[in-house]
Amino acid sequence: MACIKVDYDKCTGLGICESLAPEFFEVSDDGNLTLLEEEAGPDALDDVREAVAGCPTEALSLKE
Amino acid sequence: MSLTTEHARPSYDPVSLSPLSFWAKSPAEREEDYAVLRRERPVSWHPPAEGSMMPPQEGGGFWAVTRHADIAAVSKDPETFCSGEGIQMEDVPLDILEAVSSFLATDAPRHTKLRKLVSSAFTPKRVKKIEDQIKDQARRLVDHLVETGDCDFVEHVSRRLPQWTIFEMVGVEDQETREIATHAADGMVSWADEDVRAGREPAELLTESLMQLINVALDLAEARRAEPRDDLMTNLVQAEVDGESLTDEEIAAFFCLLSIAGNDTTRNTISSTMRQLTLNPDQRAYLVEDYDARIGTAIDEFVRWATPVMTFRRTATRDTELQGQRIREGDWVVLFYASGNADTEVFDEPGRFDLSRTPNPHIGFGGGGPHYCMGNQLAKAQLRAIFHELLTRAPDIEADEPVYLAGNFMQAIKSMPCRLNLG
Ligand code: HEM
Ligand code: SF4
């Protein structure tokens, strides 16, 4: 299991993470990011890693 | 003069990025100069940009950052490299900067609050909602193109989809006003181009364009105050920041930013891509073979190749160091995105238009950090829709030599003839 962390001070709510791993990230209509799942199992890890790497503001991190 | 306390500047770099003649060259010629800088002097000191509207400061100048990794590092460190002191590589009169840049030229915490007022319209869910409309619009545009036949691609295709999309979202309804606003937004980034200026002084063109944009913005704001709708202008007139409504000036600045950022960037990416697909028939064939599966990856290469935004500036908030150069508080630091997107440290054979390039960590939408392009997903939705229509309905369409806009900010194609070859 890997644990996802969001730095809400850095997040600008554009949802590039959501487009890469929609089961984990959702930007709601008020523009705030909600973490749908905090833990990523082995199946989802690739998608989540891609989302973490794809975040332009470095707001996401993964503790494995 | 005390060189002991204020350490001396290096001399100006022999490869100069400042003169108008540098910006009048073709993108490929500019790349030859960037390549030298990236390899030998990745952070270099240059005289103030030629042709500015403001008298240059004595001994002034800017640092040019040309490597991909350094552009990303500066972009992601807004505390050291801020945007609030201006974002263009030349001095722009401060009132104009404020009037057009909105949150683009601000720093946290204000940046965060202002950006949030509109960013919720650009999330994946909201982009998906408008995506069907974008597809319809792309289809109508290509219907029109097929009827028209050989014509100027910019006027008939690339200009139209971004214009429709951004003004549909903001809430500008009639086509005539959309045209006025697009024309004015273009004027804001074209002051260095003699053709566009047509005898006017740069400042004259800027002021005239700005007044037009502000008028459209304020008329629309008034209409939405009287009768709210489901659009961005309604959000803005209803918004509060720290318990206060936005002023008319702030609303107009939002409108200017969205009109400029939403139009020219995507337009030039569409034009540039059409030209590259003409020059690289193998890549076109590769894309068409499995469009839906390949377009996502291809779009990043479209944007890397086009890099419509060539430069943005930051200002150092403290003394610091970059690639061994000592940067002083207050120094200007200019990010050369086009150079970063051709950096061989990051891209294999950057001179190839390779639609299967993966990974493709281009910095066409910015080097990351808080100002990263808010419209990136919207732009991608438009590129996907328009090339789907074009390559299905006019599969043999070709674009001839483009005519570029002069200037150091937008890599813009003013016009480009196309042939439909419909057989
Ligand atoms: C292919 C098309 C586009 C490209 C290449 C592009 C490029 C860029 C770049 C380089 C930046 C600056 C990033 C930075 O300073 O780190 C930016 C910012 C921005 N872009 Fe785009 N852009 C495109 C399309 C759009 C569209 C369609 C919109 C829609 C409104 C848009 C809205 C914005 C806004 C509002 C900002 C300022 C964000 C901020 O300061 O927080 N862009 N864009
Ligand atoms: S990609 Fe990064 S900045 Fe964007 S919503 Fe996700 S976490 Fe926030």
Return the residue in B113, B120, B377 with the most chain A beta carbons within 10 A, the one to mutate for interface testing: B120
Kindly report the protein residue whose alpha carbon is nearest to atom 18 of ligand 1: B373
Tokens of B250: 């702030």
Give mean pLDDT, residues B111-126.
90
pLDDT at B178 over 70: yes
Closest of B73, B144, B83 to residue B115, by C-alpha = B83
Q: Which residues contact B359 (CB under 8 A, 6 or more apart)?
A: none
Give mean pLDDT, residues B282-296.
98
pLDDT the model gives residue B96: 81
Range of the domain at A56: 2-63
**What digits encode the pLDDT tens for the residues B388-415?**
999 999 999 999 999 999 889 999 999 9
Strands A39-40 and A2-6, sheet pairing = antiparallel
CATH number of residue A42's parent domain:
3.30.70.20
pLDDT the model gives residue B179: 95
pLDDT at B2 over 70: no
Say whether residue B297 is in contact with chain A using an 8 A CB cutoff.
no
Range of the domain at B347: 3-419
**What digits encode the pLDDT tens for the residues A10-56?**
999 999 999 999 999 999 888 899 999 999 999 999 999 999 999 99
pTM of full prediction above 0.90: yes
Cα diameter, chain A: 31
Helix (H, G, I), strand (E, B) or coil at A41: coil
pLDDT the model gives residue B55: 67
Q: Which residues contact B41 (CB under 8 A, 6 or more apart)?
A: B13, B15
Tokens of B91: 């001095």
Q: Which residues contact B250 (CB under 8 A, 6 or more apart)?
A: B102, B114
User: Which runs of consecutive H residues, i.e. helices, occur in B365-421?
Assistant: 376-393
ipTM value, please give it: 0.92
Domain count, chain A: 1
pLDDT the model gives residue B8: 73
- State the virtual CA torsion across B336, B338, B89, B60 in degrees, nearest 10: 40
| Ligand 2 contacts CB of residue A13 (under 6 A) | yes
Domain count, chain B: 1
Atom of ligand 2 lying closest to residue A12 CA: 3
Q: Which residues contact B230 (CB under 8 A, 6 or more apart)?
A: none
pLDDT the model gives residue B7: 57
How much of chain B exceeds pLDDT 90, in percent? Answer: 81
Tokens of B359: 């990974």
Closest of B266, B263, B264, B274 to residue B353, by C-alpha = B274
CA distances from B291 to B66, B380, B387 (A): 34, 14, 9
CATH number of residue B369's parent domain:
1.10.630.10
For residues B54 and B345, which has the higher predicted lDDT (pLDDT)?
B345
Say whether residue B122 is in contact with chain A using an 8 A CB cutoff.
yes
How much of chain B exceeds pLDDT 70, in percent? Answer: 97
